[in-house]
Copies of this chain bind each other. A is one copy, B any other.
Amino acid sequence: MYQKKYLELTPANEADNTADRERILNALKYDYENLDITYDVLRTINPLCINSSWRITTTLQYTTKGWDIIRIESGDTSKNCYALAVDYGSTSVTMELINTIDKSIIASDTITNPQTVYGDEILSRIFYTKDNADHLNEIKEKTVDGLKELMDNIEKKSGIHKREYMGMVISANTTMVHFLLGLFPFGIFQSPYAPVATSFGYIRAKDLGLDLLGNIFLSPAAANYLGGDIISGLLCTDIEHNSELCIFLDIGTNGELVIGNKDFMIAGAGAAGPAFEGGISKYGMRADKGAVNHVRIENDNLITNTIDNAKPLGICGSGIVELIAQMFLNGWVDFRGTLKSGVNDRIIETTDENKTQLAVCYAWANQSKQGENLLFTQSDIYSFIQTKAAAHTMVASLLEYSGIGIDQIDKFYLSGAFGTYADLEAAITIGLYPDLAREKFIPLGNSSLKGSQMLLCDYTQIYRLDLFTEKINYVQFSEVSSFVENMRAAEFLPHTQTDKYPSVMKKLEEHLHK
């Protein structure tokens, strides 16, 4: 979306007294369609070009309607062209400073979404704005403030002045974009589920109160619940190029998936709840310092690892997956996820709010096992199994809807933090992912952010976004008749149809014979 072009031009002379603006446009018009010069730049041409002896570097910004020269600099600065890639998540916001010339990441920073002062849950933020334009404006400003804070942090980290940042590509879900632009988000969540917009054009940064020369581009949404973050993430795949069948799955608080290839694309989305971010347990937590993120059971000893090897404070999503998988393989829980009393001294009784139940203690408070131990209760296990069943069922149901068997899938893209960091074996063991050949799984990391990067460096990626939003057929899971049935079948470890999980069955067998 951002390019630079160094020019050495002949100044006006008697034989050619073309005006300055037209002189510059003529030098570039064959390479850049519908080329224009912004008014701000027009005012800099004279005397800048004369003072530079007409050795100048132009910065070009792409929009679907054509190119604009948004800056002219003296001399050759064409090695560096800086712009910002953003993933504006409901929970946290990540910004990267990109050099669009060599596609390098110069600096990166992440902050908590400043909207969280209006509630951790997205719905509480939406209700805050209901029929209240002032509140909507307030959230809009807060949302923009997040970008400003990140720009400040990036400037400090990189030592590159903010005036060098040309523009921004933001990938975010539909609600985040509505907040950012100050659009009422209520339509997203109430029947007939029509938001104000699913694509947003190119917005001048200054119109949003951001002091950048260029635009803010927001990745478009394909549907209400299939936002710009997902569409941007699809840029990291080659789903539309081949006849190979691909699945793209992003699970976090919500689950979104796309199945397709060059011939078709079908998508679905649903709420997954907070389980994958550790949010179901009293001691659940995000994947921060002190979170138990790896668990294994060796010779009936439960061994944990924490992030940064800190004192354990709780358990995060990837820790939970391994905990349940290990307990299942070692016979601490049955295929329903029910804890077996007396199998290990880690399994204890706990009482909370008058409810007594079993729990597994994955970290003792101290050696005497007194005080506040870190527990994962029977209820927590059932909740997590519900969530993994929901995620599994989205995939299963969409495949069924498309008449595709899971064996036909060639690539299974895992997007997002959970998909990237959760142990693949453990996730398959509990039946969260299907039991495919492991090399078919491709973790993408923060694909929403990576998509933003790609858009900054290569404007032709915008056409892929258009293709995705046009081609994707969004399916409501309520339309899939077998959804509830599939869900029931998935509420087991790994699944009622154990023949679908041969590698897990084999592993279970091995553990039994240990």
A247 at the interface (CB under 8 A from B): no
Q: Once the chains bind, are B17 and A193 in contact (CB under 8 Å)?
A: yes
Give the distance to chain B from A37, nearest Cβ to Cβ, in Å. 7
Looking at the complex, which one of B14, B17, B66, B198 makes contact with A19 (CB distance below 8 Å)?
A: B198
Give the distance to chain B from A63, nearest Cβ to Cβ, in Å. 8
How would residues 25 to 64 of chain A score, 1 for a CB under 8 Å from any chain B CB and 0 otherwise?
0000000001011011011011100000000000000001
Q: Which residue of B lies closest to A223 (CB)?
A: B17
Give Cα distance in the complex from A184 to B36, angstroms.
20
A194 at the interface (CB under 8 A from B): yes
Residues of chain B lying within 8 A (CB to CB) of residue A36: 65, 201
**How many copies are assembled?**
2
A279 at the interface (CB under 8 A from B): no
Chain A binding surface, main DSSP class:
loop
Asked, given contacts A17-B224, A20-B187, whether A43 binds B197 with beta carbons under 8 Å apart, the answer is no
Give Cα distance in the complex from A37 to B207, angstroms.
14
Residues of chain B lying within 8 A (CB to CB) of residue A358: none
Give the distance to chain B from A474, nearest Cβ to Cβ, in Å. 10
Which of A23, A46, A184 counts the most B-chain CB atoms under 10 A from its CB? A46
Q: Once the chains bind, are A194 and B66 in contact (CB under 8 Å)?
A: no
Q: Which residue of B lies closest to A137 (CB)?
A: B43
Looking at the complex, which one of B13, B34, B42, B224 makes contact with A200 (CB distance below 8 Å)?
A: B42
Residues of chain B lying within 8 A (CB to CB) of residue A199: 21-22
A-B contact pairs, 17 of them (CB 8 A): A14-B192, A16-B192, A19-B187, A19-B196, A19-B198, A20-B194, A21-B200, A34-B64, A37-B201, A39-B204, A42-B197, A42-B201, A43-B183, A45-B183, A45-B196, A45-B197, A65-B65
A195 at the interface (CB under 8 A from B): yes
A203 at the interface (CB under 8 A from B): yes
Give Cα distance in the complex from A412 to B454, angstroms.
59
Asked, given contacts A36-B65, A36-B201, whether A194 binds B43 with beta carbons under 8 Å apart, the answer is no
Number of contact residues on A: which range applies? 35 or more
Q: Once the chains bind, are A195 and B19 in contact (CB under 8 Å)?
A: yes
Q: Once the chains bind, are A43 and B201 in contact (CB under 8 Å)?
A: no
Asked, given contacts A39-B204, A42-B200, A201-B36, whether A18 binds B194 with beta carbons under 8 Å apart, the answer is yes
Looking at the complex, which one of B17, B21, B66, B207 makes contact with A192 (CB distance below 8 Å)?
A: B17
Q: Once the chains bind, are B207 and A46 in contact (CB under 8 Å)?
A: no
A360 at the interface (CB under 8 A from B): no
Q: Once the chains bind, are B13 and A183 in contact (CB under 8 Å)?
A: no
A191 at the interface (CB under 8 A from B): yes
Q: Which residue of B lies closest to A191 (CB)?
A: B14
Asked, given contacts A12-B187, A47-B184, A183-B46, whether A39 binds B207 with beta carbons under 8 Å apart, the answer is yes
Give Cα distance in the complex from A13 to B182, angstroms.
23
Q: Once the chains bind, are B198 and A22 in contact (CB under 8 Å)?
A: yes
Give Cα distance in the complex from A224 to B22, angstroms.
13
Give Cα distance in the complex from A200 to B42, angstroms.
9
Residues of chain B lying within 8 A (CB to CB) of residue A198: 19, 21-22
